Amino acid sequence: MNILLVGAGLSGAVIGRRLAEAGHAVTIVESRDHVAGNCHTERDTDTGVMVHIYGPHIFHTDDEGVWEYVNRFATFMPYKNRVKTTSGGQVFSLPINLHTINQFYGKTLRPDEARAFIEEQADTSIEDPQTFEDQALRFVGPDLYDAFFKGYTIKQWGVQPSELPASILKRLPVRFNYDDNYFFHKFQGMPEDGYTAMVERILDHPGIEVQLNTRFTRAMGEGYDHVFYAGPLDGYFDYELGRLGYRTLDFERFTYDGDYQGCAVMNYGEQSVPYTRITEHKHFAPWETHDGSVCYREFSRECAPEDIPYYPIRQVREKALLADYVALAEQTRRVTFVGRLGTYRYLDMDVTIREAMTAAETFLEKGAETPAFVAAPL
Ligand code: FAD
Ligand code: UDP
């Protein structure tokens, strides 16, 4: 069959590869001038550093099948994400761990003592936290919440943490030992020559044709047996019901002669600092040596129509609108909506790849009867 894929990010690449290997003819249209979507990496011409152009990307997963898959197309170098945060004139370790707690309170608590101490700070009257703020107050108490979460979250999301769901904070653990690994997944690493080289290898198959600088229009889908669409869900319908809200990011690039901050990611917990974090890209490749350095200050703001959508907002208004778009999509024949934009969800790379694998297998089983969504957006 002839298949059209919209978007040459991880979703499009993984689906395209599987369908091409199964003998289908795959065309991928991509509006940007490069593949790999938001994972795109590029060597900086001034410094030679590999830059994560759309923000820092660390590969981490518990999914052995996905780990095997990415290792087929890239050599993964050992990498552990160790994030620091600046607040109140000091640098602390994240996620909140025993070091953070002892430093913050000027104590030398052992694990059990720290657990009991934090439980004393926590607001135990909150039984079933629904909001970000309640989740923080329940699990770390007001001091740590104010220092590390409140200001950062207001900057990141543009609303009060009391208006955000608890699920956003649940992504971050609190540890009562000195483990400062940001993720707790079994596998973690960084592709040796960047994510774009990995995606290029996934796409390197005689059954796949990639057309860059090509924006999808619905008319394009007509000559194909099936379309997999990894662009924005509302965009497919020309925003006819309104726009799903996103946060976008602005990156302010600067170079430094030497080592600017000594780590890859430094967060800024206070609202008075206008950016959320600074990424120093050379620290993502500790196996390389570079004298110069390139850093990105990261600012978050509301996404306007011409901006790149990064984080889906998924508050009450968006969820209602999303339900309407899902209903429209479900009436659309021979189109499957995939990926972080097609399903309007925050998806890590490993989940994106797993869902793309499932979408491809579903298509190989059901053909044109493949549903609009293989992974439910609601
Ligand atoms: P995308 O990468 O967005 O690809 C979609 C592609 O479709 C894009 O290339 C776009 O240009 C193209 N497109 C859109 N509309 C059209 C159209 N109309 N016509 C043609 N082409 C179109 N995940 C992790 O696992 N670890 C991390 O550390 C991590 N960090 C992240 C940091 C940030 C700041 C963000 C925003 C995300 C992060 N992620 C991370 C998530 C990761 O970026 C996603 O999992 C991944 O990009 C999803 O791939 P995708 O193919 O679904 O979407
Ligand atoms: N967060 C925070 N302070 C930090 C880091 C994260 O308040 O120093 C909050 C913020 O609201 C963020 C959420 O925790 O959106 C999840 O953090 P994560 O590091 O997973 O953010 P992402 O990778 O999505 O940018």
CATH number at residue 317: 3.40.50.720
For ligand 1, atom 16, name the residue with the nearest CA.
231
pLDDT, mean of residues 215-233: 97
| Domain shared by 238 and 320, yes or no | yes
Predicted pLDDT of residue 181 = 96
pLDDT, mean of residues 75-95: 98
| Domain shared by 218 and 332, yes or no | yes
State the DSSP string of 329-365: HHT-TTEEE-HHHHTTS---HHHHHHHHHHHHHHHHH
Asked which of 139, 170, 201 is the last residue of a domain, the reply is 170
List C-alpha distances in Å: 366 to 87, 204, 257, 334, 361. 53, 26, 56, 11, 9
Put the strands of the sheet holding 208-211 in their side by side order: 208-211, 25-29, 2-6, 226-229, 335-337
Cα 201 to averaged position of ligand 2 atoms, centre (Å) = 31
| Domain shared by 105 and 156, yes or no | yes
Distance of CA 19 to the CA centre of its chain: 25
Q: Left if phi > 0, otherwise alpha if psi is -120 to 50, otherwise beta: which for 268?
A: beta
Q: Which atom of ligand 2 is nearest to the CA of 55?
A: 25
CB atoms within 10 A of CB 36: 27
Predicted pLDDT of residue 335 = 98
Query: With 90 as the cut, is the pLDDT of residue 27 above it?
Result: yes
| Domain shared by 319 and 237, yes or no | yes
Query: With 90 as the cut, is the pLDDT of residue 309 above it?
Result: yes
Query: With 90 as the cut, is the pLDDT of residue 287 above it?
Result: yes
Query: With 90 as the cut, is the pLDDT of residue 170 above it?
Result: no
Catalytic residue at 277? yes
- The reply to whether 164 falls in a domain is yes
Average pLDDT, the chain: 97
- CA dihedral (218, 316, 299, 47) in degrees, to 10, reads -50
Catalytic residue among 43, 171, 215, 317: 171
Sort strands 277-280 and 292-302 into parallel, antiparallel or unpaired.
Answer: antiparallel
Query: With 90 as the cut, is the pLDDT of residue 133 above it?
Result: yes
> Dmax of the chain from CA atoms?
68
State the DSSP string of 114-170: HHHHHHHHS-TT--S--BHHHHHHHHTHHHHIIIIIIHHHHHHHSS-GGGSBTHHHH
Query: Cα–Cα distance between 35 and 320 in angstroms, integer?
Result: 32
Cα 172 to averaged position of ligand 2 atoms, centre (Å) = 7
Q: Tens digits of per-residue pLDDT, 339-369?
A: 999 999 999 999 999 999 999 999 999 998 9
| Domain shared by 16 and 157, yes or no | no
Query: Cα–Cα distance between 365 and 131 in angstroms, integer?
Result: 41
171 in contact with ligand 2, CB cutoff 6 A = yes
pLDDT, mean of residues 32-59: 98
Query: With 90 as the cut, is the pLDDT of residue 116 above it?
Result: yes
Among residues 11, 41, 42, the alpha carbon closest in space to that of 28 is found at: 11
What range defines the domain where residue 321 resides? 2-79+190-242+313-369
| Domain shared by 329 and 365, yes or no | yes
Containing 102, the helix (H) or strand (E) segment is helix 98-105
Catalytic residue among 17, 138, 175, 340: 175
List phi, psi (to 5°) of 253: -85, 140
Catalytic residue at 171? yes
Catalytic residue at 72? no
Query: With 90 as the cut, is the pLDDT of residue 249 above it?
Result: yes
147 in contact with ligand 2, CB cutoff 6 A = no
Catalytic residue at 247? yes
Number of domains in the chain: 2
pLDDT bracket for residue 171 (50, 70, 90)? confident
Query: With 90 as the cut, is the pLDDT of residue 294 above it?
Result: yes
Query: With 90 as the cut, is the pLDDT of residue 378 above it?
Result: no
pLDDT bracket for residue 156 (50, 70, 90)? very high
Predicted pLDDT of residue 290 = 98
Predicted pLDDT of residue 205 = 98
339 in contact with ligand 1, CB cutoff 6 A = yes
- The reply to whether 116 falls in a domain is yes
List phi, psi (to 5°) of 112: -65, -40
Catalytic residue among 123, 307, 348, 361: 348
Predicted pLDDT of residue 56 = 98
Q: Which atom of ligand 2 is nearest to the CA of 132?
A: 11
Q: Which atom of ligand 1 is nearest to the CA of 342?
A: 52
Predicted pLDDT of residue 161 = 96
* Statement: the pTM of the whole predicted model exceeds 0.95: yes
Q: Tens digits of per-residue pLDDT, 254-279?
A: 999 999 999 999 999 999 999 999 99
Predicted pLDDT of residue 276 = 98
| Domain shared by 112 and 23, yes or no | no
Q: Which ligand is nearest to the CA of 60?
A: 1
Cα 253 to averaged position of ligand 1 atoms, centre (Å) = 21
Predicted pLDDT of residue 299 = 98
- The reply to whether 286 falls in a domain is no
pLDDT over 90, % of the chain: 97
Query: With 90 as the cut, is the pLDDT of residue 148 above it?
Result: yes
| Domain shared by 229 and 130, yes or no | no
| Domain shared by 72 and 87, yes or no | no
User: Which range is least confidently modeled, 170-179, 283-292, 323-332?
Assistant: 170-179
pLDDT bracket for residue 104 (50, 70, 90)? very high
Catalytic residue at 175? yes
